[in-house]
Amino acid sequence: MAEYKFIKWFEDLRKTDVPLVGGKGANLGEMTSAGIPVPPGFCVTAEAYKYFVENVKVEDGRSLQEWIMEVIAGTNVDDSKQLQENTAKIREKIISMEMPGEIGKEIEEAYKTLSERFNKDAVFVAVRSSATAEDLPEASFAGQQETYLDVYGVDDVIEKVKKCWASLWTARATFYRAKQGFDHSKVYLSAVVQKMVNSETSGVMFTANPVTNDRNEIMINAAWGLGEAVVSGSVSPDEYIVEKGTWKIKEKYIAKKEVMVVRNPETGKGTVYVKVADFLGPEWVEKQALTEEQIVEVARVGAKIEEHYGWPQDIEWAYDKDDGKLYIVQSRPITTLKEEVKTEEAEMTEEMKVLLKGLGASPGIGAGKVVIIFEADEIDKVKEGDILVTTMTNPDMVPAMKRASAIVTDEGGRTCHAAIVSRELGIPAVVGTKEATKVLKDGMLVTVDGTKGVVFEGIVKKLVEKEKEEEAKAKVIGGGAPLLTATEIKVNVSMPEIAERAAATGADGVGLLRAEHMILGIGQHPIKYIRDGKEEELIENLMEGIRTVAEAFYPRRVWYRTLDAPTDEFRNLPGGEEEPEEANPMLGWRGIRRGLDQKELLRTEFKAIKRLVDEGFTNIGVMLPLVSHVEQLREAKRIAREVGLEPQKDIEFGVMIEVPAAALIIEELAKEGIDFISFGTNDLTQYTLAVDRNNELVAKLYDETHPAVMKLIEYVIEVSKKYGFETSICGQAGSDPKMARKLVRLGIDSISANPDAVELIRKVVYQEEQKMMLEAARRALRE
């Protein structure tokens, strides 16, 4: 092989080469030398990155490294807005710079050599980032940099290498380095270029059970296609538990694997999500992904890797459908294993000493260690199983919420952000305690009852054990055919990540897909994104989120609500400095009001939906939030037509009934043309009763079944029968059995509930419909 300055082949690397090629690259080299089946490849070394930043010049003649260090020196990492803005500036600069010829030529030659090994002019590769401080047991950087799959051709490889380099400067990675004491100027990044495995089956394996902490068990997750679906959590994988040494398969859980990731069949490059039933056939959805022999083979290789490193490993593996062989594509130490804790040490207690009371916002029991945070930049403090305690959650805290075993907040009611997101994630939550951040202390062990709204001192043994029994019972009872109801039972979805879980409830569709997490999750004010020329990136981000949900539910309908974030949520984003200061953001510039003032944002949402419709998604509908004038509906339709989206023809088009004015002008809205309406009872109630739904002081006055609210709902349903549009509800009241019974009696067409309430509401609706049929039959007999 040719002599290289900036390239190292896997076979020339060992685990000691972390400073040169990062943890990922060093591990791949180490496994290659140990005889582990690793797809061949090479690393563009950290020296290449160093050469790049030290020799490429910016406009004023300084090196890129000098420019980056100056930007970082002027950045307060605890100022989330400034951090997001400055790191985005660094990433954009790196990607825009031309690759030095010395490095580009070596990448081209190495890629050509790799391709020739397979008798091809070019091969598909994965380009993965490998930070020089990544994957160390004492400092896990995993997931903070980028990976690109099915990259093809040298130009594409070079572009992706630069993008990997740029990902060293994400806000999260920069914040993490600062807090861990790493010198920014001495942390470099290598890019791993590895032959793609054309996976038939793939997944991850933990050589110690991360759930039970049992080091004698290996846990294997497996699904169809590329491993991206399993790693990202987009698919529910099969799970196999294997006993080390005996290689006995102790447990098997065969999941419904609805989607898979494959090479894009249209472009031949990159990856796309497809439905397993369409791509492989319906019988593959619940087919076991690995044979018994393959399960044992994967486990044995995992044990060999663990033995080699002397520490339990988190391993990504794949079976290549071209040659049928097993390959290991990544291995890193498991950094979350805990030493065994005795019951006494975990402070199990039979006592039920109440520390706090609040509103039970998401049912269930959660127990663990208290971690108090006040800002989104503290979310890394929250580890798996902790109790997240804060004043009030916001969209930036969602990653930490996913790791928590329960949420406790000072503020909020049952319809606040913490409540809504916790219910969708299936995490117990208690909100509106007023003093959780004062009464609870970091490190304290507590048990949270999200049903009753109580926080107990210590780990309450009987509550924890009861919760485990309930979960076990649910697994045994679940899985039967859903009850058939005339009223459709739909589900609310805030985050695409829970699409599979939501679809698994058997819901008849999505009555509310919120835009907020998809748009606010980009890390910058969306208007800044558009005005900085990155509208396409925002469109792609939206498409990916909506597509994930639409695929999971297809052909069941999904109603997407256009953006409805108040100004106080926008203000916290980089680029949100110009957001107005409003005395009451809930009554302010939000929903369709903002959408029509900032038409470029609404137009971007419509463009994303238009492209999805063109992809063949016939199950997407659009609904406009906070409508109070017919002109708002008319103008929104006009903007949709501007991008080629014809309301009521290409897609169903509807409005939210959240403002009393919308209910009172429903006939005018119907005449203008709507396919459906959905009651947003969270807002409809607060606007009708003048009760701030996020204020725990007046929470006792908040009542969705108040006669005034019910009269507005009843009137709209009556008008719907006259004009033939569909009626639904997606507010929190839709998850209330008492309200569900009332709505069925009023003749509503569908009820959209939170994921945890779908099964209950379906039973309630079924019972109420049966009762109505019996009453009708009795009346007929009397007559």
Annotated catalytic sites, by residue? 417, 730
Contact 149, 160 (CB under 8 A): no
Ordered DSSP codes for 143-207: TSS-EEEEEESHHHHHHHHHHHHHGGG-HHHHHHHHHHT--GGG--EEEEEEEPP-EEEEEEEES
- Burial 653-681, CB ≥16 within 10 A → b, else e: bbbbbbbeebbebbeebbeeebbbbbbbb
Give the residue ranges of DSSP H helices in 381-452: 398-403, 417-425, 436-439
Long-range pairs of 250-258 with CB within 8 A, sequence gap ≥ 24: 250/217, 252/288, 254/286, 254/287, 254/288, 255/223, 255/286, 256/285, 256/286, 256/504, 257/223, 257/224, 257/284, 257/285, 257/286, 257/289, 258/285, 258/500, 258/503, 258/551, 258/552
Contact 404, 386 (CB under 8 A): yes
- Burial 440-456, CB ≥16 within 10 A → b, else e: beeebbbbbbbeebbbb
* C-alpha distances in Å from residue 749, one per residue of 487, 587, 624: 5, 29, 19
And the tokens for 222?
Answer: 């497996």
Q: In what helix (H) or strand (E) does residue 128 lie, and over which residues does it extend?
A: strand 124-131
Phi first, then psi: give them for residue 521, nearest 5 degrees. Answer: -70, -10
Ordered DSSP codes for 2-37: ---SSEEEGGG--GGGHHHHHHHHHHHHHHHHTT--
Q: In what helix (H) or strand (E) does residue 736 lie, and over which residues does it extend?
A: none
Q: Which residues contact 48 (CB under 8 A, 6 or more apart)?
A: 6, 7, 103, 106, 190, 191
Per the listing, tokens 């009241």 go with 733
Q: 130 forms bridges with which residues in the sheet? A: 190
Rg (CA), the chain: 27
Cα–Cα distance measured from residue 752 to residue 560, given in angstroms and rounded to the nearest whole number: 13
Phi first, then psi: give them for residue 732, nearest 5 degrees. Answer: -55, -30
Torsion of CA 172, 173, 178, 180, to 10 degrees: 110
- Tell me if residue 474 falls in helix, strand or coil: helix
CB atoms within 10 A of CB 208: 21
